[in-house]
Chain A
Amino acid sequence: MERAAVYDSDLNLKATELRLGLPGRDESEKQSSRNNKRSSAEMENSCDKDEQESAPAPKAQVVGWPPVRSYRKNILQHQKNESDLSGIFVKVSMDGAPYLRKIDLKVYKNYQDLLKALENMFKCSIGVYSEREGYNGSEFAPTYEDKDGDWMLVGDVPWDMFITSCKRLRIMKGSEAKGLGCL
Chain B
Amino acid sequence: MSEDEELPDLVGGSTRSSNSTAVSGGGDQNYVSPSPDQVLENVIENVLYFLTSRHDRNAASLVCKSWYHAEALTRSELFIGNCYSVSPCRVTNRFKLIKAIAIKGKPRFSDFSLLPPDWGAHFAPWLRAMAVSYRALEKVYLKRMCVSDEDLAIAAHSFPILKELVLVCCEGFGTDGLAIVARECRHIRVLELVDSDITDDEVDWISCFPDDVTCLESLIFDCVESPINFEALERLVARSPSLKKLRLNSYISIRQLYCLMIRAPQLTHLGTGSFSTLEIVAQGEQEPDYISAFAACKSLICLSGFKDINPEYLSAIYPVCGNLTSLNLSYANISAEQLKPVICQCHKLQTFWALDSVSDEGLQAVSAACKDLRELRVFPVEALEDAEGPVSEVGLLAISEGCRKLQSILYFCQRMTNAAVVAMSKNCPDLVVFRLCIMGRHRPDHVTGEPMDEGFGAIVKNCKKLTRLAVSGLLTDRAFNYIGQYGKLLRTLSVAFAGNTDLGLKYLLEGCPKLLKLEIRDSPFGDSALFAGLHHYYNMRFMWLSSCKVTRHGCEEVARQLPGLVVEVIALNEEDKETNEYVDTMYLYRSLDRPRADAPRMMVRPPLIVGKALYKYKAGLPLAGLKISRSPCGSMYLSS
Contact = CB atoms under 8 A, between A and B. Distances in A.
Interface of A: 1, 4, 7-8, 10, 12, 15-16, 18-19, 23-24, 27, 34-39, 42, 56, 58-59, 61-73, 75-76, 78-79, 82
B120 to A, nearest CB: 19
Contact of A59 (B385, B450, B474): B385
A1 B457 contact: yes
Given A15-B451, A68-B379, 6 more contacts: A4-B485, A23-B449, A24-B443, A65-B496, A68-B380, A79-B331
Nearest to A78: B308
Contact of A18 (B195, B449, B522, B575): B449
A8 B503 CA distance: 8
17 contacts: A8-B501, A8-B503, A10-B501, A15-B474, A23-B449, A24-B443, A34-B582, A36-B582, A62-B385, A62-B522, A65-B497, A71-B223, A73-B383, A75-B331, A76-B333, A76-B355, A79-B331
B179 interface: no
Interface in B491-505: 496-497, 500-501, 503
Contact of B437 (A8, A61, A67, A72): A67
Given A8-B477, A58-B385, A66 B439 contact: yes
Contact of A58 (B381, B384, B477): B384
Interface stretch (B109-117, B122-130, B554-562): B109-117
B197 A71 contact: yes
A69 B573 CA distance: 24
Contacts of A61: 384-385
Contacts of B501: 8, 10, 12
Contacts of B380: 66, 68
Contact of A66 (B109, B385, B454, B474): B385
A66 B412 contact: yes
A76 B111 CA distance: 17
B500 A15 contact: yes
Nearest to B443: A23
Contacts of A76: 331, 333, 355, 381-383
Contacts of A42: 522, 547
A67 B308 contact: no
Contacts of B250: 75
Contacts of A15: 451, 474, 476, 500
A65 B381 contact: no
Interface string B579-596: 001101000000000000
A65 B524 CA distance: 17
Contacts of A39: 547, 572
B395 interface: no
B575 to A, nearest CB: 8
Contacts of B458: 1
A41 to B, nearest CB: 11
A11 B160 CA distance: 64
Nearest 3 interchain pairs by C-beta: A64-B112, A24-B442, A68-B383
A8 B458 CA distance: 23
B276 to A, nearest CB: 10
B573 A72 contact: no
A69 B451 CA distance: 27
B437 A66 contact: yes
B549 interface: yes
A65 B380 CA distance: 12
Interface string B466-484: 0000000010111001100
Nearest to B309: A79
Contacts of A73: 383
Give the most central of A7, A35, A65: most B CB within 10 Å.
A65
Q: Is the interface of A mostly helix, strand, loop or mixed?
A: loop
A67 B496 contact: yes
A18 B447 CA distance: 11
Contacts of B522: 38, 42, 62
Contacts of A34: 524, 549, 582
B5 interface: no
A19 B385 CA distance: 20
A72 B549 CA distance: 31
Given A15-B476, A35-B582, A27 B113 contact: no
Contacts of A68: 112, 379-380, 383, 412
A12 B355 CA distance: 36
B441 A65 contact: yes
B308 A64 contact: no
A43 to B, nearest CB: 11
B547 A38 contact: yes
Contact of B441 (A1, A18, A24, A78): A24
B104 interface: no
A71 to B, nearest CB: 6
A70 B381 CA distance: 13
A75 B573 contact: no
Contacts of B582: 34-38
Contacts of B584: 37-38
Nearest to A37: B573
Contacts of B521: 64
A78 B309 CA distance: 12
Contact of B333 (A37, A58, A79): A79
Contacts of B386: 56, 58-59
A35 B581 contact: yes
Contacts of B412: 66, 68
Contacts of B503: 7-8
Contacts of A71: 195, 197, 223
B444 interface: yes
Given A1-B482, A67-B496, A23 B331 contact: no
Contacts of B612: none
A106 B201 CA distance: 35
Contacts of B245: none
B251 to A, nearest CB: 12
B371 interface: no
B307 interface: yes
A15 B113 CA distance: 29
B637 to A, nearest CB: 24
Contacts of A10: 500-501
A123 B442 CA distance: 58
Contacts of B443: 23-24
A66 B472 CA distance: 10
Contacts of A36: 547, 549, 581-582
Nearest to A27: B442
A72 B333 CA distance: 12
A14 B310 CA distance: 48
A52 to B, nearest CB: 16
Nearest to A5: B481
A73 B333 CA distance: 13
